[in-house]
A and B are shown apart, each in its own frame.
Chain A
Amino acid sequence: MFNRILFNLFQVIVVLVFAPLASGVLSRLKEMVQSKRGPSILQPYRDLWKLFHKDEIVSEESSWIFRFTPYIVFVTPIFVALLIPVLTNYPLFFAFMGDMLGGGFVLSLGGFFAALAAVDTANPYGPMGASRTRMVGFLAEPVFMIVFFTVSFVAGSTIPYIVQEKWVTPLANFFAPSHVLLVLAFLMLILAEGGRIPVDNPTGHFELAMIDESKSLEYSGRGMALMKWGGHMKFFVLMCIYLNVLVTPWGLAREQTTGAVLMAIPLVLFKIFCLLLVLVCIESSLSKLRLFRITEFLGAAFVTSVAAMMARVFLP
C-alpha cells in the first residue's frame, strides 16, 4: 500500500521534472535538422525559472477565471499522471479514480479553462485563438471517441492497464490492423492537440497565425510560468498515454519494487526520445496547414480511426 502511493508520487515527479526537458529536446532536435545550433535542451527550465522571478500583472477588467486558470492548467496533467501508466504496468494507488475516458475529460478541462481565460481579458487576439482551439478541439473530439470505442471494443475495457497488455499478448496482436491504425490515428491527434506543425506552429510568434499560443498572451510572471509548464506536462502526458497504453507496455516496471520503478524511468524516457525523433521528422517535412485545411487533416485522422474499427469488425 505504502509502496503504491510512493510509486504514484514518483510518476507525478517524473512528469513534473522531465516534461520541460522533452519540449527542450524536441526544439533542439528540430533546429539541428534545419542545420542550426538551436537553444540548449535546458532552455525551458531557464524560461520557467526566469518567469517565476518576474512580477505578475493582471488586468483589472479580468474576472476570477483569469486568475484561476494557470493553476487548473498546471494541475490537470498532474491528475492525469496519477491515473495512467507512466512507469508501471500495474495499477497504482489512485488508478481506480478514472479510466482513459476520465483522463481525457480531465485533460480537456484544462483546455476549456484556458479558452475561457483567453476570452476573459477581451484582448483582441485571445478570443480568436480560443475559438480556433475550440475548432481544432471539436474536430478532434470524434476521433478521440472512435479511438476509445475501438480500444474498448478490442480490449473489452477502457482501463489503460488492461488495454496495454492486450496489444502484446500474444505478440501477434501487435500487428493487428486495428492496433496499427489506432496508433496512426492517435499520432495525428497528438499533433493536433499538442499544437504541433501540420496544425499549428509552436514556435510562431505572429499573432494572426497563432492557434494555441495566443491563449496565454495576456499572462505574465508566475501565471505564464504555470501555463507554460502545464503545456509541457500536457504534451508529456499525451505522449505517455500514446506510448505506454496504445503502442506497447514495453519498458514499464513489472515488479513492485523501488528498483524496478526507478529502472523504468530511463526506459520510458528512451521511448519518449524515439517518439520525439518521429515528431521531428514529421514537423520538418510538413508545412503548417491553412486554417480551413485542418478539417481535412482531422478528417483523415477520423477516417483512420474508423478504418481501425472496421478492420476489427472485418476480422471474423
Chain B
Amino acid sequence: MSETTNQLLDNLNALAAGLFLLTAFGIVAMRQIRGCLNLFIVQSLLLAASAALLGLRHQSEHLYGVALVNVISKPVIVPWLLAKTSPAEVYTRREIDQALNIPTSLLIALALAILAYFLGTPLLNSVGPDFRGPNVPIGIAGLLLGAFTLTVRREAVPLLIGLLVMENGAFLTGISISRNLPLLVELAIATDGLIIVFIMGVLTRAVQKHAGTTAVGTLASLKEAAPEPTPNEVTK
C-alpha cells in the first residue's frame, strides 16, 4: 500500500485510540448508569475500529477476526445479558455516588494516564518500529482507568463496566503487539468477558434482592440473616 494510505490509516488508528482514552475518562466521570453503559459500547466499537484499521494496515486477517468478535460480543451481547440478569430499576436511577467527587477523580485519572505513558515508553522502545503506535500506552491507560473506576464507584453495574474497561484496555494493547493471535484465544477471552458479565449480573440481582440496593459501596458491615432486630438495636 502507498505511503499516504499508510499514514492515513496510522492516523485513523491513533484517532480511534485517542477517542478510546476519552471514553475511558468519561466512564470514570459519568453520573448515569445508562450513560456509562453507552460509553462502554462506544469504547468497544472504537476498539473494534482500531483492530480493523490495524488489520488493514498490516494485512492481518486475525485482527479482522478480533474486530468481528468485539463488534458482536461487547456492544450487543453485554448490554443484552445485563438487561436480562440485573434488575431493571438499576437503569432508571440517574445519580450514582462515588467515593470522590467528579473533578477530583478526573484529575487522578489524568495522573494515571500520564503514569501509563511512563509505563508504556520502555515497552515501546524494546520492540521493533513496526509495532510502535499509540495503542500500547493508551491500552495501559485504559487498564489503569478501569481499575480506578473499580475503586471509586460504589454501584454494582459501573463496577462491572470498570472490569470490562480493563479488559478493553488489555485488548487494545494486545492487538498492536501481537498480529497473529490465534482466533481461538480471542474467542476464549471474549467468552470470558461474557461470563463475567453474566455472573456479575446475577450477583447484582441477588444483592439487590437481599439488601434492597445495588450501591455495594455502602454495604460495609457484615450482617447476619438471623432474627429481626429488636427496637433498641434499631435506634442505635
A interface residue numbers (CB < 8 A to B): 170-173, 175-178, 180-181, 184, 295-296, 299-300, 302-304, 306-308, 310-311, 313-316
Contacts and interface: CB of A to CB of B under 8 A. Distances in A.
Nearest to A181: B18
Interface stretch (B8-16, B153-161, B182-190, B225-233): B8-16
Nearest to B9: A172
Interface string B111-150: 0011001001000100000001110011000000000000
A315 B14 contact: yes
Given A300-B29, A314-B120, 4 more contacts: A172-B8, A302-B106, A310-B117, A316-B133
A243 to B, nearest CB: 20
Contacts of B10: 172
B11 A172 contact: yes
Interface of B: 4, 7-8, 10-12, 14-15, 17-19, 21-22, 25-26, 29, 102-103, 106, 109-110, 113-114, 117, 120, 124, 132-134, 137-138
B117 A314 contact: yes
B184 to A, nearest CB: 31
A306 B106 CA distance: 11
Contact of A170 (B7, B14, B114, B117): B7
B175 to A, nearest CB: 16
A184 B5 CA distance: 25
B18 to A, nearest CB: 3
A12 to B, nearest CB: 37
Contacts of A315: 14, 133-134
A172 B138 CA distance: 21
B22 A181 contact: yes
A243 B32 CA distance: 32
A181 B16 CA distance: 11
A295 B22 contact: no
B103 A178 contact: no
A316 B133 CA distance: 6
A307 B22 contact: yes
A171 B117 CA distance: 27
B83 to A, nearest CB: 24
Contacts of A171: 4, 8
Contacts of B19: 177, 180-181
State the main secondary structure of chain A at its contact with B: helix
A315 B29 CA distance: 25
10 contacts: A171-B4, A172-B8, A176-B14, A299-B102, A299-B106, A300-B26, A303-B25, A303-B110, A307-B22, A315-B133
Of residues B7, B15, B26, B117, which shows the largest number of chain A Cβ atoms within 10 Å of its Cβ?
B15
A167 to B, nearest CB: 11
B18 A180 contact: yes
A314 B4 CA distance: 21
A120 to B, nearest CB: 32
A187 to B, nearest CB: 13
Nearest to B120: A314
A304 B22 contact: yes
A249 to B, nearest CB: 18
A316 B102 CA distance: 31
Contact of A314 (B11, B106, B134): B134
A170 B11 CA distance: 11
Of residues B8, B21, B109, B120, which shows the largest number of chain A Cβ atoms within 10 Å of its Cβ?
B21
B25 A177 contact: no
Nearest to A308: B18
B29 A311 contact: no
Nearest to A316: B132
Given A299-B102, A311-B21, A175 B15 contact: yes
A300 B19 CA distance: 13
Given A300-B29, A306-B110, A314-B137, A175 B18 contact: no
B219 to A, nearest CB: 27
A303 B106 contact: yes
B21 to A, nearest CB: 5
